[in-house]
Chains A and B, each alone.
Chain A
Amino acid sequence: MILTEVAPAWIRICLILVLVSGGFLLSSRSLKNLVRTYQLQSFLLVLIALGLVVLEGHTILLLVAALTLISKVFGIPAFIRLIQERMSIQQDLRFSYLRPPGALMLSILIILLVYVCFAQILEKLYAANSLFFLGSVIGVSLVLMGLIAVCTRRMAISKVIGYLSMENGVLVFGLFVTELPFFIEFVIIIDLIILVLLTSIMTVGIDSSIEEYKSRMKEFHLLSEEGGMS
């Protein structure tokens, strides 16, 4: 009973922290912090999903929470960290088009734009449940903020985190408005894992030939001398 009363406030706080983490992904220069923030953002999604289970009673959301916890809180960040350590990349200081202050300003404008548009489109939802309206605005804003990160960051590894943040935005929107089927969420996560894997491969060897590629993998300690993945 108490949980049902606390859940809306809990979800609101988590939603705002998700948006804050989106802003942090745009401004942070440390790759370690970027991965940590993505991990935290994903964990907040787990908490939101659990809050919605308490509020709405849809048990399928428990599966979404479990899947998010395993893949986005533990799996993907651990893999990106492994690549980072092997390649000894610490910071992403290169930006294109916009630097972090400009990106933050643009994201403020985007949030405002999304709010104005949604206030027209989802007028009934706003009147019926302001929490779900807030969730939908923050979800779409997070997608667009992820897109800004993809466009403004120059390192492939930071771009990947931008894409991952975009997917988190889709999940937030799905949780609050469209009730994304579990199967589609599962497929998206598989896509994400493949995206992270492919980008890691491309980061190492996109500018090399097939012959050079093996030596490049060994250079970054991604392939052992015997030929197996290390």
Chain B
Amino acid sequence: MNGESILFGLLNVAFVLLISPFFMMVIKKVKARVQGREGPHLLQGYYNLAKLFRKETLYSEYAGFISRIAPYAALSILLVAALQIPLIWIPEQELVTANIIVFLYLLVAGRLLIALLGLDTASTFGGMGSSREMSLSAIIEPVTVVVFAALVYVMGSFSIHGIFRTAMTTFPAYSPTVLLLSVPLFILIIVETGRVPVDNPETHLELTMVHEGMLLDTSGRNLALFELSHAVKQTLLMAILLNIVVPAGIALELSAFALVLGGAVFLLKGTVLCVIIGLFESAYAKMRFFQIPNFFMIAFFFSILTIFIEVMM
């Protein structure tokens, strides 16, 4: 491991931690504006995290060691995933071994930890949330695998570095397959981050909540870590979509100017995508639980279609 690898890792982790709460707030702001409200300040996410980090952490009397390690483990897993996703700089050589299958497993490991946390607190809401999360993930996982399979087939590489590099340097921006891929990747962001119409991150209604149900007994620093890891997960998935569909602006060489420009362009692209997500969420109502697989089917359809079209062309 050389200095460039360490710099690459540090850049990725620092940048993703820095911008993730901002993206969450952009979506909330857009949703509020659509509803005719002022909405939170764009820096409110940072204030909330600072407040939660200062608060006392309370544990259920039944909570075991899972409740104590899960918040740290969930964030650590996602930061390992962040090491693999180039956000603002794609080096010429692959500095960190990054495989799309490893990335998938890391996402699944994070989900499993949160589901275990829901069960560990021994509350009925937590158990219900975990049960729903696992039922949904049994359907999400095959679709996610097919979406990434389409991505790998089109880009011709399992390596995330290779995929991004191909999208940046050799793949034409107007390629129909890239256009098609953007739809399942967008759906994946909605599904994996538990957004409307799959789940509503702002509800605490027992009939509808999935993700929030598992975190209901979490407080203080632990809640802050979960909020942050949720935001990081969203940014990483957004980075996959953005750096493949609109790769312009990513630094290809290591220089201060290129890195600042890459960061600024990613921030801009991410903000636009967040506005689209906010508008999408506002346009749809939450689906009934048993209707949710229909939504996944659209992602599946588009992914298979992408593979077919790539074969036919």
Instruction: Give residues in A with beta carbon < 8 Å to B.
Output: 9, 12-13, 15-16, 19-20, 23, 27, 99-101, 104-105, 107-108, 111-112, 115, 130, 133-134, 137
User: Can you list 16 A-B pairs with a CB-CB distance of less than 8 A?
Assistant: A9-B172, A9-B175, A13-B174, A16-B179, A16-B309, A27-B298, A101-B294, A101-B297, A104-B301, A108-B301, A112-B308, A115-B308, A115-B311, A115-B312, A134-B312, A137-B312
A104 touches B298 (CB 8 A): yes
A12 close to B176 (CB less than 8 A): yes
Counted as pairs of residues, one from A and one from B, with CB atoms less than 8 Å apart, the total is: 55
Q: List the B side residues contacting A115 at CB < 8 Å.
A: 308, 311-312
Task: Decide yes or no: A108 and B293 within 8 Å by CB, A9-B174, A12-B313, A27-B298 being known contacts.
Answer: no
Q: How far is the CB of B166 from chain A (nearest CB, A)?
A: 18
List which B279-312 residues lie within 8 A (CB) of chain A: 293-294, 297-298, 300-302, 304-305, 308-309, 311-312
- Interface of B with A (CB < 8 Å)? 172, 174-176, 179-180, 183, 293-294, 297-298, 300-302, 304-305, 308-309, 311-313
Contact A111/B313 with A13-B179, A16-B179, A104-B297 known, Cβ cut-off 8 Å:
no
How distant is B286 from chain A, measured CB to nearest CB, in Å? 16
Contacts of B297 in A (CB 8 A): 27, 100-101, 104-105
> A27's closest neighbor in chain B, by CB?
B298
Least CB distance from B170 to A in Å reads 15
Q: Note all chain A residues with C-beta closer than 8 A to B305.
A: 16, 19-20, 23, 108, 111
CA of A108 to CA of B143 in the docked complex: distance in angstroms? 14
Bound: A99/B297 CA distance, A: 12
> Do B180 and A16 touch (CB < 8 A)?
yes
Contact B313 A130 (CB under 8 A): yes
Partner of A130, one of B172, B176, B312: B312
Chain B residues positioned under 8 Å from A9 (CB to CB): 172, 174-176
Tell me, rounded to whole Å, the shortest Cβ–Cβ distance linking A137 to chain B: 6
CA gap between A1 and B312 in the complex, in Å: 26
CB distance from A21 to the nearest CB of B (A): 12
Evaluate whether A134 and B294 lie within 8 angstroms (CB atoms) in the complex, with A12-B176, A23-B301, A115-B308 already known: no
Q: Inside 8 A of B293's CB, which chain A residues have their CB?
A: 101
Residues of B within 8 A of A100 (CB): 294, 297
**Which A residues lie within 8 Å of B294 (CB)?**
27, 99-101
**For A112, what are the chain B residues with a Cβ–Cβ distance below 8 Å?**
308
Instruction: For the complex, give the distance between the alpha carbons of A16 and B309 in Å.
Output: 8
Which chain B residues border A105 with CB–CB below 8 Å? 297
Residues of B within 8 A of A130 (CB): 312-313
A148 to chain B minimum Cβ distance, whole angstroms, is: 13
